[in-house]
Structure 1
Amino acid sequence: MKQITQQKYPSLFHEIFSRYLFLLVLVYGLAVLIVAGQVKIGFIDDTLQKVDLPAEILLPETFGNENALFSHAILPKDRPRSIYPLMLEAMTNLRFDDIRSLFGSELPGFTIYNAKIFSAGKGLNYMNLPQDSPPPPQMNLPAPKPAAPAKKQANPNPQTNPMKKMVFLYHTHSWESYKPALAGQSNASGAVSADPGLDVIHDGTVIGQELAANGIGYVHDMSNKNVMLQQRGWNYNEAYQYSRIITQAAMKQNPGMTYLIDIHRDSSAGSITTLSLNHVSYARISFIIGEDNPNYSANLYLAKQIKSLLDQRYPGLVLGIIGKTKYSGDGVYNQDLSKNALLIEVGGVDNTLAEVDCSSKAFADALSAYIKKSNH
């Protein structure tokens, strides 16, 4: 009897230890899965964003689960991707159709190409993506003399339009300008100005006037960001932080103002940023989406809707919709403040103000049409 009792204790200890070890492994495994899921959730969201199956593919694929004959209606090239490559990409973060995922973090300077083209217009590729302009050579830039007399603005004070404010126009890099507007300027890095009639503030003025003509109220921030940053002792890299402050203040004063448009100028050459359509020259427009914003899909939806409206009337005007993370830009661009926030690039350093005006009016018309449709 004593011998039997002695044999029970090692067996009981072994059973308790086995259960404890099993629970420990289970908890550790769940923790790994949760962490991995958090890391890869961005990839899963990106993959779902790319899913765009037309009805002629989706319906046969769905009914094909019940009747194999339907599956034969789908061409091999149109079939949805297998789940196994998607699982492998989710675990390794390697995308076999994009070599950048393999070498992007290893090659110096390669991260500037770590952007995503959600929608590409004619001529857009990873070699000519819109890039942030370099910081101005000095603060408090003097206003250079214009190459031609600036046209008198019909509405010199756009902030006073009486309609309900729905759109906020602002410029994080207000100094960005255009070489043809600056007398004697041939260097792209020198296409900067503190004159609101020559820099991108001019673009916002034209957009605002067109919005008002379409019955859309707006507020236009025309502040010189060079001066504002200098007064705070901030540098170029903190420009978006300052824009966030003025944007939040504007939204607080106008609770119904949810369309936030940050207007920039691309640093690309005119061969990429210029469009001739029906004998009229335009500065092409790009949309930049901050992918580090957890809810960027809503901003992407707005960009696609505006692009669709522009494509109908001005085919080719939109250069593309580009997504950027903190590795290729700011990453958020204050677009987390509203689902209707956008960053647009109106033309490049080589575009004329006349081309910019045509594109600014076109964008304002498309935005007005979208707002009116959304409010009905």
Structure 2
Amino acid sequence: MRRPKSQAGVYSLSKAKVQSTVMGLIAFIVMTFLIIAMLTTAENHSRFASSALNDWTAQMQSDWFVHLLGAENRYYLDAMHDPSPPSLTTAAFEIATNMNLEDPRTFLGREIPGFSGFDDTLVIAGQGTDFTNMSIESGPPAEEHLDELPETDEEASDAVEDDPPEIDDEEPIIHLLHSHSRESFLPEIEGGDPNHPETNIVQVGQYFADQLREHGLPVEVSEHDIQAKLNERDWDYSQSYDMSREILVEDMEENDELAFFFDLHRDSVAREHTTATINDDVYARTFFVIGEDHPDYEQNLAMAEDLHNRLEEQWPGLSRGVITRGGAGVNGVYNQDLSPNAMLIEFGGVDNTFEEVYRSADAMAEVLQEYIHEEMEEEE
């Protein structure tokens, strides 16, 4: 009688094992399909990749990584003011929530509309610059000005500065462009919309180019009306950098001597933050903006930091500083992936005048020509 019971027990055990195996196989198949679905339907910036890992670790305080290196090499810890390891609780909280207890912006950025505009990283803070007065990218022109086209008669041409001085036949090495070509200055125009199809940042680019030519540097200025080109394609204002990229790539293909690229803009913050008096002269302050959403942005950042430091040496307070900008809601590249010598420069704000901006352009041309000539000498 024991033998049948033993067979029944073996049969029962085998049946349970088979059921467990089948359920495990089904669970494995379901999980596989779920993972495949997540990987194939997620947006590019959400997929697991080296860039995603970089974004994830960027939320953690850098002290953690220094301490990890210090576990193997004590010299890393010697450079720290506080060699004690960070709190494990704090680290776990940052990983789980992407919130930094020492940065209140991480608590509010996802809850308050528009607050993400303060997510820029302030690499170098100029005099008086902090998170409350960071550079603000200008909005699109008012509805009634979107389709407005520049005049072409003689009266309109008078608004532009004198023709640039003649230079030799040497190919330009500097390219100036204006992705927001209609950004203007309220004291120079009528009305409350700081955008204008004729009187705008392009005139600053023309003046800046003249000063660089005076220092023997061949320059070309892109004077395209980006807004008009956006209208032609029925593109949104947020695609301004896509439009200027097409122009820039075409110009680079036509002239392989181009080596330095500057996208000139006008800031949107108030006059009190964009104006400085230096040696009894009033200047429109500058701000360097570097896009961090491309792998080689640190090369662009190094150049911006160098130019900021040079300005500070000769005109203390002229530069508002250097910031990096990236992530959701912004362009984050600004065509700077095309060259390590590309950057975006804000010249003044909505309440500055051309006279104040031109003084800043004089100073910027002085430090830039020093930088470029030094770079050219090193290459020789």
Name 2:41's counterpart in structure 1.
Answer: none
Give percent identity, aligned residues only.
30
Match of 1:113 among 118, 134, 140: 118
CA contact (8 A) 1:161 1:212 kept: no
CA contact (8 A) 2:183 2:200 kept: yes
Name 2:162's counterpart in structure 1.
Answer: 153
- CA distance in structure 2 between the partners assigned to 1:179 and 1:246 by the alignment: 28
Q: Can you give the 5+ residue segments of structure 2 that lack an aligned partner in the other structure?
A: 1-5, 39-46
Name whichever of 86-95 and 306-315 sits farther off: 86-95
Whichever residue aligns with residue 165 of structure 1, its letter is P
Please state whether the residue corresponding to 2:243 is helix, strand or coil.
helix
- CA distance in structure 2 between the partners assigned to 1:201 and 1:271 by the alignment: 24
- CA distance in structure 2 between the partners assigned to 1:191 and 1:38 by the alignment: 37
1:39 and 2:46 equivalent?
A: no
Name 1:250's counterpart in structure 2.
Answer: 251
Name 1:99's counterpart in structure 2.
Answer: 104
Whichever residue aligns with residue 346 of structure 2, its letter is E
- CA distance in structure 1 between the partners assigned to 2:331 and 2:113 by the alignment: 19
1:219 and 2:220 equivalent?
A: yes
Name 1:320's counterpart in structure 2.
Answer: 321
* Deviation of the 1:36 alpha carbon: 7.8
Q: 1:121 to 1:328 in 2, by over 3 A?
A: farther
Q: Can you give the 5+ residue segments of structure 1 that lack an aligned partner in the other structure?
A: 66-70
Q: 1:362 to 1:64 in 2, by over 3 A?
A: closer
Q: 1:50 to 1:63 in 2, by over 3 A?
A: closer
* Deviation of the 1:104 alpha carbon: 1.3
Name 1:179's counterpart in structure 2.
Answer: 186
| Deviation string, structure 1 residues 257-304 (Cα, Å, up to 9, x no partner) | 132111010111111100100011110001112122232222211111
1:202-351 aligned within 5 A: 202-351=203-352
Whichever residue aligns with residue 181 of structure 1, its letter is E
Please state whether the residue corresponding to 2:277 is helix, strand or coil.
strand
Whichever residue aligns with residue 104 of structure 1, its letter is G
| Deviation string, structure 1 residues 305-324 (Cα, Å, up to 9, x no partner) | 11111111111111122222
CA contact (8 A) 1:140 1:226 kept: no
Name 1:192's counterpart in structure 2.
Answer: 195
Cα RMSD of the aligned pairs, angstroms, is 4.0
Whichever residue aligns with residue 177 of structure 1, its letter is S
Aligned length: 345
* Deviation of the 1:341 alpha carbon: 1.3
Q: 1:271 to 1:356 in 2, by over 3 A?
A: same
Match of 1:169 among 154, 163, 176: 176
Please state whether the residue corresponding to 2:106 is helix, strand or coil.
helix
- CA distance in structure 2 between the partners assigned to 1:284 and 1:81 by the alignment: 40
Q: 1:123 to 1:62 in 2, by over 3 A?
A: same
Q: 1:48 to 1:202 in 2, by over 3 A?
A: farther
Structure 1 length normalisation: TM-score?
0.76
Name 1:360's counterpart in structure 2.
Answer: 361
| Deviation string, structure 1 residues 117-169 (Cα, Å, up to 9, x no partner) | 222112222222221222122222456999xx868536167xx6533422110
* Deviation of the 1:365 alpha carbon: 1.9
Structure 2 length normalisation: TM-score?
0.76
CA contact (8 A) 1:303 1:342 kept: yes
Name whichever of 209-218 and 321-330 sits farther off: 321-330
Name whichever of 293-302 and 336-345 sits farther off: 293-302
Give the structure with higher Rg (CA): 2
* Deviation of the 1:236 alpha carbon: 1.6
* Deviation of the 1:80 alpha carbon: 8.1
Name 2:148's counterpart in structure 1.
Answer: 140
| Deviation string, structure 1 residues 223-265 (Cα, Å, up to 9, x no partner) | 1222222223323222111100000011111213132111010
- CA distance in structure 2 between the partners assigned to 1:288 and 1:50 by the alignment: 25
CA contact (8 A) 2:123 2:323 kept: yes
CA contact (8 A) 1:114 1:327 kept: no
- Compare relative contact order (CA 8 Å, sep 6+) and give the higher one, 1 or 2: 1
* Deviation of the 1:114 alpha carbon: 2.4
* Deviation of the 1:75 alpha carbon: 4.7
CA contact (8 A) 1:165 1:219 kept: yes
